[in-house]
């Protein structure tokens, strides 16, 4: 399973914010640091804000910061929130002639379930350590 860029960038944003000691970060700063378009980044941040993982402060001196404790953000929850669909295969478009007897989707769904259960064991806090904090400082 390969994550979409949307989910990849959400993880980057969350890791970055968890590594910045709660100071405010500007969207443009993240866009420049990760070489992501500002408009694409804003869509991702908006979703993270609505979920409560990121806090947004408006105005001249505004920005974003982590909106909860890093230990409250489970990695599987980020994947489920950010991925448009978790279906491992699309048997309907075009309609597959093998669907009535095929076992592939069931096998892939079981593998995906194990993948998500594994991610459930980890939080954002598990991804942030001294080395990550030092790398984040280089970006800003």
Per residue in 6-30, pLDDT (tens digit) is 999 999 999 999 998 768 999 999 9
Closest CA to 139 of 8, 13, 40: 13
- Which residues share a beta bridge with 123? 74
CB-CB contact of 64 with 81 (8 Å): no
Q: How far is CA 56 from the centre of its chain?
A: 17
Distance separating the N- and C-terminal Cα atoms of the chain: 31
Beta bridge partners of 63: 57
CATH number of the domain at 66, please: 1.10.10.10
Residue 46 confidence (pLDDT): 97
- Rounded to the nearest integer, the mean pLDDT of the chain is 91
Question: Can you give the pTM of this predicted structure?
Answer: 0.87
Residues 6+ apart with CB under 8 A from 135: 19
- Using CA atoms, how far residue 99 sits from 90, 92, 94, 95, in Å, is 10, 9, 11, 8
The pLDDT tens digits for 128-137 are 987 777 777 6
Count up the domains in the chain and report the number. Answer: 1
Structural domain of residue 134, as residue ranges? Answer: 5-139
């Amino acid at each position: 399973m390969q994550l979409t860029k949307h989910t990849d960038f959400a993880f980057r944003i969350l890791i970055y914010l968890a590594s910045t000691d709660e100071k405010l970060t500007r969207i443009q700063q993240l866009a420049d640091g990760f070489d992501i378009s500002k408009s694409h980044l804003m869509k991702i941040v908006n979703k993270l804000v609505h979920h409560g993982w990121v806090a947004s402060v408006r105005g001249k001196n505004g920005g974003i910061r982590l909106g909860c404790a890093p230990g409250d953000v489970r990695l599987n929850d980020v994947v489920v929130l950010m991925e448009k669909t978790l279906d491992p295969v699309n048997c309907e478009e075009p309609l597959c002639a093998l669907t009535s007897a095929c076992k592939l989707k069931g096998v892939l769904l079981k593998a995906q379930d194990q993948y998500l259960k594994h991610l459930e064991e980890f939080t954002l806090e598990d991804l942030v350590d001294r080395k990550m904090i030092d790398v984040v400082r280089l970006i800003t």
